């Protein structure tokens, strides 16, 4: 489990299979109690590597598209602040 905010983050399970279900690719595994569970494939190390992350080589925790979206949000807040000034 690689999703940083999931309670099982860092846990390892034996992969049973990968199937397209619930509208997405999901991994299936058995938990410690032997119950079959599934999670989105993107939350695990079964997911394809993000090309940006590979090229950045760990030098940048942010993607360009995410930084551009953040810049737009900040600009929206600035514009809102200017309207409130007297």
The length of the chain is 86
pLDDT of residue 86: 47
Bridge partners (DSSP) listed for residue 18: 27
pLDDT of residue 80: 65
Rounded to whole angstroms, how far apart are CA atoms 63 and 61?
7
Burial of 44 (0-12, 13-18, 19+ CB in 10 A): buried
Task: Enter the pTM of the model.
Answer: 0.54
Q: Please say whether the beta carbons of 17 and 3 come within 8 A.
A: no
- The tens-digit pLDDT sequence of the chain (86 residues) is 777 788 888 888 888 999 999 899 999 999 889 999 999 998 888 877 778 778 888 787 787 888 899 999 999 888 766 555 54
Q: Please say whether the beta carbons of 1 and 8 come within 8 A.
A: yes
First vs last C-alpha separation in the chain:
51
């Amino acid at each position: 489990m690689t999703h940083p905010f999931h309670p099982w983050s860092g846990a390892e399970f034996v992969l049973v299979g990968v199937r397209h279900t619930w509208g997405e690719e999901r991994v299936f595994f058995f938990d410690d109690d032997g119950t079959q569970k599934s999670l989105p494939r993107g939350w695990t190390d079964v997911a394809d590597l993000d090309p940006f992350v590979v090229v950045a080589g760990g030098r940048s925790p942010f993607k360009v598209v995410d930084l551009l979206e953040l810049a737009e949000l900040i600009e929206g807040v600035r514009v809102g602040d200017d309207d409130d000034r007297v």
